[in-house]
Amino acid sequence: MLLNQFLLLSAVLFCIGVYGVLARKNGVLVLMSIELILNAVNINLVAFGALTADVGGEVFALFTIAVAAAEVGIGLAIVLLIYRNRRSIDLSEADLLKG
């Protein structure tokens, strides 16, 4: 099995995700980018799990998926509240905690 292919795929996905998180203004898109990052990690977990014939990798990937579901639920709720209060989900405008 060629591990490199999986690792490269996940590195690419991770970079796209990081780019999305840092550069996009839209809150929903930022959340989606976070999902990309998490899934990049999942690919790594499954790949290494398959390599070492250890089921632990798959188990952790399933955990990550479950936690990601919870995380996106909370994230969307926050985005919804920001929208209700400001009529916009532009994250660059949400800077009330500026020091």
Partner 1 sequence: MPTVFATLAPSSVPTSSTVTQSANWFLENAWLVPLLPALSFVCILFFGKRLRYKGAELGIAAVALSLILAACAGVAWLDHRDNFVLHNTTDAGVEAVAGESYVAVQNSTQWLQSGGIEFSAGILVDGLSVMMLVMVSLVSLLVHVYSTDYVSDDKRYTHFFAFLSLFTAAMLFFVLSDNILQMIVGWELVGVCSFVLIGHWWEQKPNSDAALKAFLTNRVGDVGLLIGVITLFFAAGGGKTFDTIKINEAIVQGGVSHSALVVASLCLMAAVMSKSGQFILHTWLPDAMAGPTPVSALIHAATMVVAGVFMIARLYPVFFEGMQIGGSSINVMATIGAVTLVFGGLLAFVQNDIKKVLAYSTVSQLGYMVMALGVGAWTAAVFHLFTHAFFKANLFLGSGSVAHAVHSFDMKKDMGGLRKFMPKTYVTFIIGSLALAGLFPLAGFWSKDEILAGTGGWGLFGGTGGNGTYTFHLLMGMFGAALTAAYMTRCVYLTFHGTYRGGHGQHHEPHESGPRILVPLYILSGLAIVAGLANLPPGFQLVNNSWTERFGHFIEPVGSSYFPKIAHATPSWSLAVVASVVALFGAVAAFYYYFVKVDRLAKTTQQSLTELPEGLTESNALAGAGHKTLVNKYYLDHIYERGIVAATKGPLARAAYWVNQHMIDNAVNTTGETAVKMGRSMYDLVDQGVIDAFVDGSGRVSDATGEELRQINSGKVQNYAAILFAMAAVLAGAFIIIFAF
Binding site for partner 1 (CB under 8 A): 18, 21-23, 30, 91-92, 94-99
Tell me the Ramachandran region of residue 88: left when phi exceeds 0, alpha when psi lies from -120 to 50, beta otherwise. Answer: beta
Q: Based on CB atoms, which residue is closest to partner 1, 87 or 99?
A: 99
Cα distance between residue 8 and residue 50, in whole Å: 16
Q: How far is the CB of 63 from partner 1 (least distance, A)?
A: 21
Q: Based on CB atoms, which residue is closest to partner 1, 28 or 94?
A: 94
94: three-class secondary structure by DSSP = coil
Q: Based on CB atoms, which residue is closest to partner 1, 50 or 64?
A: 64
